[in-house]
């Protein structure tokens, strides 16, 4: 399979998926808690991008709901709660 012959949207999905995989390895290698929280939030944003791009490419509107939930929960709410907990515990 030659990636250069794929449509631009599919190439973008591959790049974003590779970046999600890269952030997974970054999460495994982190020793600092706050840096792990930031990496987790970036991973959520990347997953949101992949899902929204797939929704646009495939024309599936229910994937926009999934992208919105991922952005809200994984990229915003959970990291915010974890930051509050870190500040409260003084880590």
| Prediction pTM value | 0.88
pLDDT-based confidence at 3, cuts 50/70/90?
confident
Instruction: Give pLDDT tens digits for 28-86.
Output: 999 999 999 999 999 999 999 999 999 998 999 999 999 999 999 999 999 999 999 99
Cβ contact 75:50 at 8 Å: no
Residue 4: predicted pLDDT: 79
**Closest by alpha carbon to 91, among 34, 37, 39?**
34
């Amino acid at each position: 399979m030659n990636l250069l012959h794929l449509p631009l949207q599919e190439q973008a999905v591959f790049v974003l998926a590779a970046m999600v995989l890269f952030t997974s390895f970054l999460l495994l290698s982190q020793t600092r808690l706050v840096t792990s929280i930031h990496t987790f939030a970036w991973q959520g944003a990347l997953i949101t991008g992949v899902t929204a791009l797939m929704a646009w490419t495939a024309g599936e509107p229910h994937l926009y709901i999934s992208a919105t939930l991922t952005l809200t929960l994984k990229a915003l709410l959970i990291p915010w709660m974890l930051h509050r907990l870190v500040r409260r515990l003084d880590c």
